């Protein structure tokens, strides 16, 4: 398996990847259901997510669906 390149993703990129809006992402962070961002600045206002953690989260959602058929298409 090829080594995965890690990079930081900003909120807009995370929203596009996972399909949740900002408020849902932060609610899931509070409950421990979604990876927390890393601070990029000393004051903590600029944050980003590690791409490998988002990829793992997406994989976990696919696995949680088990053998379920995708909506609107074949499995």
pLDDT per residue over 23-66, tens digit each? 999 999 999 999 999 999 999 899 999 999 999 999 999 999 88
Neighbouring residues of 44: CB distance < 8 A, sequence distance ≥ 6: none
Query: Helix (H, G, I), strand (E, B), or coil: what is residue 68?
Result: coil
For the cut 80, the answer to whether the pLDDT of residue 4 exceeds it is no
In three-state secondary structure terms, 14 is helix
Question: How confident is residue 67, by pLDDT bands cut at 50, 70 and 90?
Answer: low
Per-residue b/e over 38-57, b at no fewer than 16 CB within 10 Å? Answer: eeeeeeeeeebbbbebbeeb
pLDDT of residue 5: 78
pLDDT for 74 beyond 80: no
Q: Structure tokens of 25?
A: 């992402």
């Amino acid at each position: 398996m090829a080594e995965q390149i890690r990079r930081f993703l900003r909120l807009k990129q995370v929203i596009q990847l996972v399909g949740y809006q900002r408020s849902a992402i932060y609610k899931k962070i509070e409950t421990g259901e979604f990876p927390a961002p890393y601070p990029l600045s000393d004051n903590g206002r600029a944050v980003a997510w590690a791409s490998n953690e988002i990829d793992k989260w997406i994989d976990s959602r696919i696995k949680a669906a088990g053998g379920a058929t995708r909506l609107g298409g074949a499995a």
